Amino acid sequence: MKSYLGIDIGAGSIKASLVDTQGTVFKSTSRATGVETDEKQFLDSLCDIVSEMKDDSLIAVGIGSPGPIDSESGILIESANLPLLKNVALVDHLKKNFQIPVYYNNDANLAALGEYRFGLGKNSANLVILTLGTGLGGGWVYQGKLFNGYKGSGMEAGHVTYFPNGSLCGCGQRGCTEAYFSASGFLHRYKEQTGHTLGSAEEFFDKSRKGESPASTLLNEGIEALAQLCRTLIHTINPEKIVFTGGLVKSWDLFGNPLRQRIQEIIFPIFRTYTQILPGGNVSGALGAAALCMENHE
């Protein structure tokens, strides 16, 4: 038997699963991370996890993390939620310690691979993933292969312009789709308009659900921005499915139908007949990271 170790680096923890070639998880573990995690603790935790999980069947390790990363060099450049980490060469570190192939990519790309292998995008010939979380990420699997772009930074879909010179985005530019539909975008725009800071996206969605202004207006603008992004993607790469993942999908009942309806209104009639817009996100990040090993070992 062969197995892969998928590791998902997040703001609060590093989660890992050992899976077989069919994606069956037979062992999982995790280590805590936080704003105080420094490079040494971080690398030690990764090594700990590999030591704990590895057995004779293990043939590769796949790792996912938020970006920006340099997937070619295996470097985590920085991460907003792990502020002490800068330019960490995690792939080299693990290869040196364990003499095993290690693959690394950003979490949105791995969400795409995870949905392609094990989720709603299973075996889709042309699958787009949009991750709705703190930010808005994108991933694209075309004919079974993850699209990486020239240097691994393709599909930064959240930074497609929705409104030139519009709301300030986390990337420093204005008017990106992410500034209109993401947890950070909603909270930032809400504060801009009311002066009040909300604690979480859930709080924002609760207010929208009750029809409170300006939350419901901001959500409607967000839906428009997201629909326009989907329109751009549908017309440029003609996906079979666009699957949404990430924490905000929990509120799909609130925005899913109006989003679908708006997309239908603004795309070519032929695309309306077959393009599927779906809420996904039930595939874990660790399983997505294991899928990266599978892609490289077939």
Shortest gap between Cβ of 99 and Zn ion (angstroms)? 39
The whole-angstrom separation of Cα 178 and Cα 138 is 11
Shortest gap between Cβ of 228 and Zn ion (angstroms)? 15
Q: Exposed, middle or buried, 55 (CB in 10 Å: 0-12/13-18/19+)?
A: exposed
In the complex with Zn ion, the residue whose CB is nearer, 16 or 176, is 176
In the complex with Zn ion, the residue whose CB is nearer, 136 or 292, is 136
The whole-angstrom separation of Cα 201 and Cα 185 is 10
The whole-angstrom separation of Cα 144 and Cα 2 is 21
φ/ψ of residue 163, rounded to 5: -140, 105
Shortest gap between Cβ of 133 and Zn ion (angstroms)? 14
In the complex with Zn ion, the residue whose CB is nearer, 162 or 190, is 162
Tokens at residue 48, please?
């700990």
Sign of CA dihedral 84, 92, 142, 247: negative
Q: Which residues bind Zn ion (CB under 5 A)?
A: 159, 169, 171, 173, 176
DSSP bridge partners of 7: 16, 63
Shortest gap between Cβ of 252 and Zn ion (angstroms)? 23
In the complex with Zn ion, the residue whose CB is nearer, 158 or 280, is 158
Shortest gap between Cβ of 79 and Zn ion (angstroms)? 17
Q: Which of 197, 213, 157 is nearest to 181 (CA)?
A: 157
Shortest gap between Cβ of 160 and Zn ion (angstroms)? 9
In the complex with Zn ion, the residue whose CB is nearer, 6 or 185, is 185
In the complex with Zn ion, the residue whose CB is nearer, 110 or 157, is 157
DSSP secondary structure of 57-83: TEEEEEEEE-SSEETTTTEEEE-TTST
Q: Exposed, middle or buried, 153 (CB in 10 Å: 0-12/13-18/19+)?
A: middle
